[in-house]
Structure 1
């Protein structure tokens, strides 16, 4: 197997939040106190272990996710970035992203986070309506969120905003007005997610009791199509199912995932792909911390992926992109032939849902609305993620 020589992406997971949002199924935890020095030391140890297994790589991006990484002390962020760029030589245009909640307490750290090396922030505004923010369990209101956005735009070279749409009771007109307002902020990137009810969340309990009803499929489809039309008209077309950016402002870190290249994941519950291995860290913060103290790393499992599994993952990820998937890359992962049902591709192409253009397979704009149904048809022996 030929080693991946593209720039490496590093994901660093900070698992702590002030409170748990009712829709969130991420690996996030609320703790009364955090031993900051112990966590800094453990993250650095986990990082050093991973770096020893990926020698000689260039580092193209770092992404601090969570949880709420804007709760990390800037000194910890600086220490991790310094260590990462000693382990791996950074590219000249390295992208360093940190997810942030728009509270005034966290916004007060933005200057220090920028000084630590963060050059891109992903700001979780989630909504531009105070009632909706309360429904979503967010700790900030609109005024506080917009204040944090203003601070972020003053301190970081690049800013992305997250919003959640297709919420209970949300009309198409209301979303159009909200999205138009978000587009007026002038950020280079928007992550726009349809509200889904995930198992194990408080919203799942509410839905099971009949106290929460999401828009039906037709209404959600109308919102999805309107979203893509409005962002494209504003110069931020969708480059991935839920992500919109000015050309050149796409998240390079996330493109590493979608283009199926190597990425290292450190911290509780972090996943990675390293030379054909799927890596997973221990999920519970205390278990991860104990594992690092015991073993020098927080790895729970390293699983060798078959050629078919790797090619399948690459197809499932790459078909989310507006650029489509690189079939030459997928075939190389598969060891010969990409695991594609070409009869299904032919049928879908006849319906205008997919295009085979040279060495790329691309889901069309019409097909993007039906992506979850298309993926298991196209990818042989696969179940859509």
Structure 2
């Protein structure tokens, strides 16, 4: 399970938004639907997920009906605030969304679309464990309006999967990708690098396997050791080594080179999309994740989910049982809320937008910090050509040292 929820102000029981909230209807609105169930907890995972023994009375079979109650609440709250608009993206994440019957996911998507409406060409993504994907599942999802499947491959090497406590069969990744493509869905493949015992050759093998799948999108995330996880405890006891940051940097550089050679463009530090001859890579990027990095609005449904509208943030109670109890009592499931001041929002914009290829305008950086851009260029962290045009864009070296760039621009 994830760590504690953030500290914040109490959330109103009716979920109502502040009357003075400066809603901008031109800002895209997205929906995130959290499915908090997993068969097994991976040793590195800090997400808000639960195995069957941790549900304390909550039932997977009741989950869709419970979440539909929050969808109704969201529609009423946003409509009252003048903030209701069609969704540009919908994302089912987890956990393992495909542990639920595909019909339950279809039911939730239909309710979301009915409550908000979907913008033309809306992107609808479902995360999936390879072992839970069948032709029947993806056909049901495609018929319901899903456009994209994000498959948790993580590695093609059995001992690396074992180090991560991943239980899927490596050969099922290809089966899942082919089933999704046959159903007309776009496909993203997720990888993790830097697991205990993983060599550069192991990582290269996983990259080759991912590229051979001919997906439109590949994510590659460095393993981060989160406090409270099984992996963190194993490292603390000396049972497995701490990830080697220099090796992780080598792995990142290898990924960027191999993906670029295969026709993929990076558009966020950990994400690459396949470029086409007529439209570049924009059509294959994850528009939902870009909504987060660009600071758009979204409503997060489900236990522990976070939401953001016009600078206001709130988050739901963590446990599925508490979440269901709140909604059954006709109360909002929100546990807390915060409204950051302009300084905090500026820092967040720099943190998020500096991660994406388009970068952030130098004009948005405080005057005292703009002088540091020249030093970042001299250190090879910021693209000089982009800076001349008024933008801070990371070089490859800058991506490896992105935290340093953010500190220089915000201290």
**How much does 1:75 deviate?**
2.4
CA distance in 1 between partners of 2:250 and 2:207 (Å): 14
CA distance in 2 between partners of 1:159 and 1:317 (Å): 25
CA distance in 1 between partners of 2:133 and 2:358 (Å): 39
1:51 match: 75
**How much does 1:104 deviate?**
4.7
Asked if residue 85 in structure 1 is aligned to residue 113 in structure 2, the reply is yes
Asked if residue 15 in structure 1 is aligned to residue 42 in structure 2, the reply is no
Q: Is the 8 A contact 1:318 1:326 kept in 2?
A: no
Matched residue SS, 1:260: coil
The 1:360/1:100 distance shift into structure 2, 3 A limit, reads same
CA distance in 1 between partners of 2:307 and 2:390 (Å): 27
CA distance in 1 between partners of 2:262 and 2:23 (Å): 41
**Deviations, residues 75-127 of structure 1 (Å, cap 9, x unaligned):** 22222222222222311111000100011566652222222221101000111
CA distance in 2 between partners of 1:118 and 1:193 (Å): 24
Q: Is the 8 A contact 2:106 2:140 kept in 1?
A: no
**How much does 1:231 deviate?**
0.8
Aligned pairs for 1:1-385 within 5 A: 1=22, 3-31=24-52, 35-36=59-60, 38-55=62-79, 56-104=84-132, 108-246=136-274, 247=281, 248-326=283-361, 331=364, 338=366, 341-355=369-383, 356-380=387-411
CA distance in 2 between partners of 1:276 and 1:149 (Å): 38
Q: Is the 8 A contact 1:166 1:214 kept in 2?
A: no
Q: Is the 8 A contact 1:271 1:279 kept in 2?
A: yes
1:334 match: none
What count of residue pairs does the alignment treat as equivalent? Answer: 373
TM-score scaled to structure 1, two decimals?
Answer: 0.91
**How much does 1:156 deviate?**
4.1
CA distance in 2 between partners of 1:66 and 1:302 (Å): 22
**How much does 1:326 deviate?**
4.4
Q: Is the 8 A contact 1:238 1:245 kept in 2?
A: yes
CA distance in 1 between partners of 2:374 and 2:183 (Å): 49
TM-score scaled to structure 2, two decimals?
Answer: 0.85
**Deviations, residues 227-248 of structure 1 (Å, cap 9, x unaligned):** 1111111111221111111202
**How much does 1:166 deviate?**
1.8
The 1:86/1:105 distance shift into structure 2, 3 A limit, reads closer
CA distance in 2 between partners of 1:259 and 1:343 (Å): 24
Moved more, 146-155 or 21-30: 146-155
Structure 1 unaligned runs (5+)?
A: 332-336, 381-385
Relative contact order (alpha carbons < 8 A, sep ≥ 6): 1 or 2 greater? 2
Structure 2 unaligned runs (5+)?
A: 1-21, 275-280
CA distance in 2 between partners of 1:260 and 1:147 (Å): 36
**How much does 1:321 deviate?**
0.6
Matched residue SS, 2:120: strand
CA distance in 1 between partners of 2:69 and 2:285 (Å): 31
Q: Is the 8 A contact 2:160 2:196 kept in 1?
A: no
**Deviations, residues 17-63 of structure 1 (Å, cap 9, x unaligned):** 11100010001101258635532222111122222233331210000
